[in-house]
Chains A and B, each alone.
Chain A
Amino acid sequence: GAVVSQHPSRVICKSGTSVKIECRSLDFQATTMFWYRQFPKQSLMLMATSNEGSKATYEQGVEKDKFLINHASLTLSTLTVTSAHPEDSSFYICSAKEGINEQFFGPGTRLTVL
């Protein structure tokens, strides 16, 4: 149980384009989902927290107009990187939790912006 999937696992795009990453909880209802960013050899950096049906809460320094988060259902959240630039290249990881249970992470999406 507690499986979280992400799609795509890897994406390469041109500068200026938008990229959408999906995060799904496969066997539980995710009341809360989180989006993280991770640079090489560094720990996870929380970008935003989203509760199903509500607007996401962004961490300080994260541009909400650039990183659009939608959590429209209890099993799906999406992160859209708008007008991506090379500095947005990173490893994006989502996690999901059901109620008071702990977070379970997806396998991550590697974004490369050329």
Chain B
Amino acid sequence: QKEVEQDPGPLSVPEGAIVSLNCTYSNSAFQYFMWYRQYSRKGPELLMYTYSSGNKEDGRFTAQVDKSSKYISLFIRDSQPSDSATYLCAMRPQGAQKLVFGQGTRLTINP
């Protein structure tokens, strides 16, 4: 079993829809949770960064962490075609340098 599980998709939704992306994990030591967006043939871009449980909002993006369920989510409101990309969740324990990545979910927003 992988430490971090993420549905690879592909996920295709119409413009304006609310998108929900999710990851589950097995290591209870994970404390820091990140979401990266990666456009085709580009490096990942840090979107959201959360420590421990709770919600964090930044514009159209909301990150949720539920440590009791070992489940994290990224919500995208009012989705735009420019949001079409691969979204990678990543996490690490306190004090660790290495990130553990999910497989990435390929998202397409259709105009």
Q: A: which residues have CB within 8 A of B?
A: 2, 4, 6, 32, 34, 41-44, 46, 49, 91, 93, 95, 97, 102-108, 110
Size bracket, chain B contacts: 20 to 34
Residues in chain B near residue A4, CB distance under 8 A: 43
Chain A min CB distance to B38 (Å): 8
User: What's the A-B contact tally at a CB cutoff of 8 Å?
Assistant: 46
- Among B42, B49, B88, the residue within 8 A (CB) of A44 is B88
Is there an interface contact between B43 and A43, defined as CB atoms closer than 8 Å? no
Q: B: which residues have CB within 8 A of A?
A: 8, 32, 34, 36, 41-46, 49, 88, 97-99, 101-104, 106
Residues in chain A near residue B44, CB distance under 8 A: 44, 93, 105
Is there an interface contact between A108 and B43, defined as CB atoms closer than 8 Å? yes
Residues in chain B near residue A110, CB distance under 8 A: 41
